[in-house]
């Protein structure tokens, strides 16, 4: 992205991608108030509480957007397509003076047979994955049990992300597989 570009990080989590390129301005958003608060420590002037299905941003505002490891937490195909449509809505259109906004999307892949998870084609695509909360009490007391939460994941099959982008009215520029994830770059 050129210096001065304005971007959107949808589902920013703890904000770890906000400081990757200091030459661009990123507005970060997350549905979790706690994660948005953590992300604000990276770039406090640009973090908002927002739902991916109803972003509070004007149409055609952003030069780029990223949404990394977010779409796969939405439980229905319609919600996943609506989320992509909502991100695309915020991107600048292609004009004579602007190349048009682009979005980078990453989702967990079903095809992970060589990973520790061992998922592959034919396995269930909608799963609950345990997430262990490492708290101070469990570190200090050997008898303390860590808190475990189960988080929903939809595991994307090959070409499924591209299909969602097309259903949302987008155009896939590039796509691929990277370390147990499917990714795509798209425009309106």
User: Could you please report the per-residue DSSP string of 71-139?
Assistant: GGG-SSHHHHHHHHHHHHHTBPPP-SS----EEEEEEEBS--TTSSS---TTS-SEEEEEEEE--HHHH
Percent of the chain with pLDDT over 90: 70
Determine the pLDDT at residue 55: 98
Sheet harboring 25-30: ordered strands across? 47-49, 25-30, 6-10, 64-68, 102-108, 181-187, 171-178
- Spatial neighbors of 140 by CB under 8 A, at least 6 apart, are none
pTM of the predicted structure, to 2 decimals: 0.89
Determine the pLDDT at residue 171: 98
Q: Mean pLDDT of residues grouped by 10 in the chain (188 residues)?
A: 94 91 93 92 82 98 98 98 99 93 96 70 82 65 77 95 99 96 98
Determine the pLDDT at residue 132: 87
- Token pair recorded at residue 29: 């958003």
- Report the CATH number of the 51-111+155-187 domain: 3.40.50.150
Nearest CA among 141, 102, 133, 139 for reference residue 5: 102
């Amino acid at each position: 992205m050129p210096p001065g570009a304005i971007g959107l990080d949808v589902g920013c989590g703890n904000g770890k991608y906000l400081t990757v390129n200091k030459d661009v301005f990123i507005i970060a958003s997350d549905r979790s108030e706690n994660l948005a608060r953590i992300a604000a420590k990276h770039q406090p002037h640009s973090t908002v509480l927002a739902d991916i299905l109803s972003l509070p941003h004007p149409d055609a505002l952003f030069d780029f957007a990223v949404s990394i490891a977010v779409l796969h937490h939405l439980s229905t195909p319609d919600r996943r397509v609506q989320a992509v449509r909502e991100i695309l809505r915020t991107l600048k259109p292609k004009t004579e003076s602007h190349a048009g906004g682009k979005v980078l999307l990453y989702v967990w892949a079903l095809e992970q047979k060589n990973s520790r998870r061992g998922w592959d084609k034919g396995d269930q695509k909608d799963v609950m994955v345990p997430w262990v909360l490492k708290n101070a009490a469990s570190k200090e007391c050997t008898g303390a049990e860590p808190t475990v939460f189960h988080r929903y994941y939809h595991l994307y099959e090959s070409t499924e992300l591209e299909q969602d982008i097309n259903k949302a009215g987008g155009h896939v520029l590039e796509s691929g597989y990277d370390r147990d994830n499917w990714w795509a770059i798209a425009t309106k």
